[in-house]
A and B are shown apart, each in its own frame.
Chain A
Amino acid sequence: MLDVSVAYERYKFLGYEFLTWLWFMMENDFEGLSKLYEELSSFEMGNRLVLENRHTGAVEVVTIKGDDAGLEEAQLALKKGAMVSEINLSFNIGEQKWRYTIKGESLNISTMKVPETGPMETEDDMEGGILEKIYLYEKGIELMEKLYNGFIKTRISPDWKNKVLPNIRKWMDA
């Protein structure tokens, strides 16, 4: 395997492509996403979307913030060659709700909010509470990992050039 710092820089485009594909899938193929994670009952854009355009030499950044923010500016940035570098997601597994932000280049998860856990008053409560928290974090992380696995397998398959990319381009042009 490549040196880690070289690999980070050389392949961070995979993270940007993943998040851009994720936005496309969210708007066009929820069924495809739920096949990757069967327990998923809803999946939508949260309150933050960041796009970066590196085609012009300098980096242009477009940030969309707010719960009901329109995405027209983000779509326009896509048409000019920008990719998603950061996305806030809100999703339900069963009836429970998660929310977090994924950064494309690192796949780091930030501002993760998970369903509430019970009160922790005794030492036993504490141990149970910590295990419950870990379980909830794990569910959130597992979703991202399964979606990323799905993306990577598509990205290295002939389907990417033959089917997925033309569909993404059609969506971008719409």
Chain B
Amino acid sequence: MGILSPSVSITRYKVEGKLSGNISETISKKLKEHTIQEIDQTVTEKAIGWTSTLQPFIPDFEQSSFIVGPYAIFSLRVDQKRVPAKAVQKYVTLETAKKLAENGRKFLSRDEKRILKDHVMGVLYRQTPSSPAIYDIVWSYEEEWLWFFSSLKSANETLESHFLESFGLTLVRLFPYTYAMLSSGLNDEQKDILGNLTPEGFLE
């Protein structure tokens, strides 16, 4: 569900750390360095990278304007190839039979089996198109918050690690404790009280 969808899910983050130099130029440079790379017709199984929100299959941080007002708007794209397990099993069996017939042997060693399976996976990955998942992002770099348009755990974890790798900044997910501690304006004494709270039974 993207930013322009009729219904959206949003995970909120606080961005910790500062970018150096001209902020929009730095973001543009980092986005370009970590743009999604196409993996179709290659043996690579998965690719993670940034892409343009409005043109997710033609990422271009040079031409397309990703700065909208005070926000940077871009997307995380995760391309993944999925080869059915039964297809792997079929081609491993066929390749094993072929190799045994060529060598006149009855068994393959553990290493030979591993090499053969890697070869089969490589061939299958090269033939399988990747399936893209796209998650939009709004980053208010001045106010140091970020919205991620997904609540999928795996997508959020991918975002957190790829963001840190790309920008050297940490994303802190805002959930009940972190929001109260970082964004609700509590003083130190109030934070201490909050830290000592335990679940309240509403029953008498």
- Which residues does A use to contact B, with CB under 8 Å? 1-2, 4, 7-8, 10-15, 17-18, 20, 55, 78-79, 81, 83, 103-113, 120, 126-127, 129-131, 133-134, 137, 141, 145, 148-149, 152-153, 155-156, 160, 165, 168-169, 172
Give Cα A84–Cα B9 distance, bound, in whole angstroms.
19
Q: Are B180 and A14 interface neighbours, CB within 8 A? A: yes
CB atoms of B175 and A107 under 8 A apart: yes
The reply to whether B197 and A156 form a contact with Cβ atoms under 8 Å apart is yes
Instruction: Please tell me which one of the listed residues B69, B183, B193 contacts residue A145 in the complex, with CB atoms under 8 A apart.
Output: B183
Give Cα A111 to B193, complex, Å: 34
Contact A155 B197, CB 8 Å, known A107-B174, A108-B9, A134-B71: yes
Q: Is A168 a contact partner of B147 (Cβ separation < 8 A)?
A: no
- Interface residues of B, CB < 8 Å — how many? 45
Contact of B180 among A83, A152, A165 (CB under 8 A): A152
Contact digits for B25-51, partner A, Cβ 8 Å, 1 yes 0 no: 000000000000000000000000000
Q: List 12 A-B contacts (CB under 8 A).
A: A8-B177, A13-B199, A104-B176, A107-B174, A108-B10, A108-B12, A110-B151, A111-B8, A130-B73, A134-B69, A134-B71, A156-B186
Contact among A104, A133, A145, A153 for B179, CB-based, below 8 A: A145
CB distance A18 to B176 under 8 Å?
yes
Assess the A126–B175 pair: CB atoms within 8 A.
no
Contact with B3, one of A81, A105, A107, A130 (Cβ below 8 angstroms): A130
Closest chain-B Cβ to A76's Cβ sits at a distance in Å of 13
Those of B1-19 within 8 Å (CB) of chain A: 3-4, 6-12
Report whether A169 and B12 are in contact in the complex, using a CB–CB cutoff of 8 Å.
no
B177–A113 touching, CB < 8 Å: no
A129 touches B12 (CB 8 A): no
The reply to whether B177 and A10 contact each other, CB–CB distance below 8 Å, is: yes
Q: Is the CB of A4 within 8 A of B8?
A: no
> CB within 8 Å of A: which of B170-204?
172-186, 190, 193-195, 197-204
**Chain A minimum-CB-distance residue to B8:** A112
User: By the criterion CB–CB under 8 Å, are B54 and A126 in contact?
Assistant: yes
Q: Which residues of B contact A104 (CB under 8 A)?
A: 176
Q: What residues on B are CB-neighbors of A78 within 8 Å? A: 202
**B residues touching A (Cβ–Cβ < 8 Å)?**
3-4, 6-12, 54, 65, 68-69, 71, 73, 138, 147, 151, 172-186, 190, 193-195, 197-204
A36 to chain B, nearest CB (A): 12
Complex Cα spacing A81 to B202, Å: 7
Q: A131-B69, A134-B138 are in contact. Are A15 and B7 (CB under 8 A)?
A: no
A141 to B147, alpha carbons, bound, how many Å?
11
Given contacts A105-B176, A108-B175, A155-B194, 7 further A-B contacts (CB under 8 A): A4-B173, A15-B176, A81-B201, A106-B173, A107-B174, A168-B202, A172-B202
Whether B68 pairs with A106 at a CB distance below 8 angstroms is: no
- Nearest-CB residue, chain A, relative to B54: A126
Q: Are A112 and B10 in contact (CB under 8 A)?
A: yes
Residues of A within 8 A of B71 (CB): 134
- Decide: B186 and A152 in contact? CB cutoff 8 A: yes
Most buried by A among B10, B194, B202: B202
Among B8, B138, B182, the most chain A Cβ lie within 10 Å of the Cβ of: B8
Of chain A, the residue at the smallest CB distance from B69 is A131
Q: Which residues of A contact B200 (CB under 8 A)?
A: 13, 17, 160, 165
User: Are A14 and B147 also in contact (CB < 8 A) when A112-B10, A129-B4 are?
Assistant: no
A152 to B2, CA, bound (A): 31
